Chains A and B, each alone.
Chain A
Amino acid sequence: MNTKPISGPHIAAIRRVDQIMRQVILALVPATAFGVLLFGWPALYLLVVTVLSAMLFEAFCLKLKGVAATPSLRDGSAILTGLLVAMTLPPWAPWWIGVAGSAIAIVLGKQVYGGLGQNVFNPAMLARVALLISFPIEMTTWANVTPLFTGPGLIDSFALTFFGLDSTDAVTGATTLGLVKTGFSQNLTLPGILADYSSFLAMIGWERGSLGETSTLLVLGGGVWLLRKGVIQWHIPVSLLATVAVLSSLFHLWDGAHYLSPWVHLNSGALMLVAFFIATDYVTSPNTPLGQLIFGAGCGLLIFVIRSWGGYPEGTGFAVLLMNAVTPLIDHYIRPRIYGRYRNGKPLDISNP
């Protein structure tokens, strides 16, 4: 038998890192599938290219580090990152946008910090923001809803994604949030801008937007499933969504012509995806429940501020990155109270109630 002393506990819960990653990926599948259905083959090509390149970059970095790549690749974190990057891209973006996104996410967002668990910023959001700043045209060219089999065929789509041959001007438009931003710059008011807005279509996701972000319903469903599985905790999604909802309600009531209703906020952009899948990223969010509530509220506040008054129509990426930067600070100041001690670490008085 083993002579090295083994410390207890000798039993463990059956929940492993790769299992958690698999569950998260599984929860994202419906929304992704819907995105492919909505935007056709180019979306599928982009998705595959992004995920594959994410895995390749991961393997490459691990090789540089001199670590065996297979065990780390098997934990599924690279696939998940690639998937999340793809879901936030415009569905008809050229292939190199996906590859660049994966490179930024895996190499700059994760591996330079030391790999899984060491990064400060959420890799997918880092990629999204870096791409948005570097390639504003490609990142804001939104394809119209062209369901599978109605749009370009397999070959045309291949050409579209990999050679950019199609003139996409004809089939693109703006997202709801983009529309609002441009409308305001032309001194229009909300009722006019959103004349064609359909609450129902926005909820099920039948609208222009990123590959996997449009369907509020499916993303929410995946998130709730993760909550029920205990993979994520409620604190961040609830505080994030509640903050956005409360703030937007207040401003919408005050000036309905210039501030979007909470319904539009909750159903547009990456809000749902961010609330359940991005902000809840273990590595870059605080450790304690109270810290998570603060983190979520901070994200919500920043999203609302950027959407309402910022230069960009959508602010989720910036908001998450900013709050990621604050996370170590939150973790430093918000710690659980230790048994038998006050919050400041001093032992309780004998006569504590």
Chain B
Amino acid sequence: MYVLSAIVIMAALGLVLGLSLGIAAKYLKVESDPLVERVEELMPGSQCGQCGFPGCRPAAEALVSGAAPVTLCPPGGTALVEQLAKLLGIDVDLSDAQDQDPMVARVSEETCTGCTRCFKVCPTDAIVGAPKQIHAVVADACIGCKKCVEVCPTECLQMHPIEVTLRNWRWPKPLAA
């Protein structure tokens, strides 16, 4: 008798809970598409391609579908990883995360021929100049995508770390115990 009532109760319980889960899945369904948009908003948006995807939008789609890790974007750094992990509900161990120093392009004046190829590819118009004149990089607008370095015929464009001054000096992280 006891066995019977136990079986009946458990079966009923399973039925009710399963049913409610089913109903919840149907009526409380989360639309997943806006997520891609929100992820894309977080991304740097420079379409630099360093992640291996053709742009920030495809990268965001890959992130949402789970095909790419949240650590895919080097320019976004740890800050982006933290935000993405929070948005997508992923646990990431950031203890050993280390941001790479941001780099900016710089024109070496001796070898620049003024060919204009670099400022044609610059996604943020960070390179100024005119044909047959030496070009210059506006460091504040440069996002370090290296596209100009790739097209420069004389290798006069090089990536350099941003110069540390009193104004942008920050305390380094203490060595871990």
A–B contact with Cβ pairs below 8 Å: the answer is yes
CA distance A5 to B174 in the complex (A): 10
CA distance A7 to B175 in the complex (A): 12
Return the CB mask of A94-120 against B: 1 if under 8 Å, else 0. 000000000000000000000000000
> What are 5 residue pairs bridging A and B, where the CB atoms are less than 8 Å apart in the complex?
A4-B172, A5-B171, A5-B172, A7-B171, A7-B174
CA distance A14 to B75 in the complex (A): 44
- Please name all residues of chain B whose beta carbon is closer than 8 Å to the beta carbon of A4 when the two chains form the complex: 172
Return the CB mask of A1-32 against B: 1 if under 8 Å, else 0. 00011010000000000000000000000000
Q: How far is the CB of A83 from chain B (nearest CB, A)?
A: 26
Interface residue tally on B, bucketed by range: under 10
Chain B contact surface mostly: loop
- Please name all residues of chain A whose beta carbon is closer than 8 Å to the beta carbon of B172 when the two chains form the complex: 4-5
CA distance A4 to B175 in the complex (A): 11
Chain A: interface residue total (CB-CB under 8 A): 3
Q: How far is the CB of B4 from chain A (nearest CB, A)?
A: 31
B133-177 contacts to A (CB < 8 Å): 171-172, 174
Q: How many A-B residue pairs have CB under 8 A?
A: 5
CA distance A86 to B27 in the complex (A): 58
B58-87 contacts to A (CB < 8 Å): none
Q: Which residue of A lies closest to B175 (CB)?
A: A4
CA distance A5 to B172 in the complex (A): 8
CA distance A237 to B174 in the complex (A): 36
- Please name all residues of chain B whose beta carbon is closer than 8 Å to the beta carbon of A5 when the two chains form the complex: 171-172
Q: How far is the CB of B67 from chain A (nearest CB, A)?
A: 33
CA distance A5 to B173 in the complex (A): 10
Top 5 nearest A-B pairs (CB, nearest first) are A7-B171, A5-B171, A5-B172, A7-B174, A4-B172
CA distance A5 to B171 in the complex (A): 8
Q: Which residue of A lies closest to B174 (CB)?
A: A7
CA distance A12 to B144 in the complex (A): 44
CA distance A113 to B174 in the complex (A): 24
CA distance A4 to B172 in the complex (A): 9
Q: Which residue of B lies closest to A7 (CB)?
A: B171
- Please name all residues of chain A whose beta carbon is closer than 8 Å to the beta carbon of B174 when the two chains form the complex: 7
A57-98 contacts to B (CB < 8 Å): none
Q: How far is the CB of B170 from chain A (nearest CB, A)?
A: 10
CA distance A7 to B171 in the complex (A): 9
Return the CB mask of A180-220 against B: 1 if under 8 Å, else 0. 00000000000000000000000000000000000000000
CA distance A7 to B172 in the complex (A): 10
- Please name all residues of chain A whose beta carbon is closer than 8 Å to the beta carbon of B171 when the two chains form the complex: 5, 7
Q: Which residue of B lies closest to A4 (CB)?
A: B172
Q: How far is the CB of B74 from chain A (nearest CB, A)?
A: 26
- Please name all residues of chain B whose beta carbon is closer than 8 Å to the beta carbon of A7 when the two chains form the complex: 171, 174
Q: How far is the CB of A68 from chain B (nearest CB, A)?
A: 13
Q: How far is the CB of B110 from chain A (nearest CB, A)?
A: 33
Q: How far is the CB of B93 from chain A (nearest CB, A)?
A: 13
CA distance A4 to B174 in the complex (A): 10
Q: How far is the CB of B165 from chain A (nearest CB, A)?
A: 15
Q: How far is the CB of B177 from chain A (nearest CB, A)?
A: 10
A265-323 contacts to B (CB < 8 Å): none
CA distance A136 to B171 in the complex (A): 57
CA distance A5 to B170 in the complex (A): 10
CA distance A277 to B2 in the complex (A): 48
B22-49 contacts to A (CB < 8 Å): none
Q: How far is the CB of B167 from chain A (nearest CB, A)?
A: 16
Q: How far is the CB of A75 from chain B (nearest CB, A)?
A: 13
CA distance A4 to B171 in the complex (A): 10
CA distance A47 to B172 in the complex (A): 47
CA distance A266 to B172 in the complex (A): 53
Q: Which residue of A lies closest to B172 (CB)?
A: A5
Q: Which residue of A lies closest to B169 (CB)?
A: A5
Q: How far is the CB of B148 from chain A (nearest CB, A)?
A: 34
Q: How far is the CB of A114 from chain B (nearest CB, A)?
A: 12
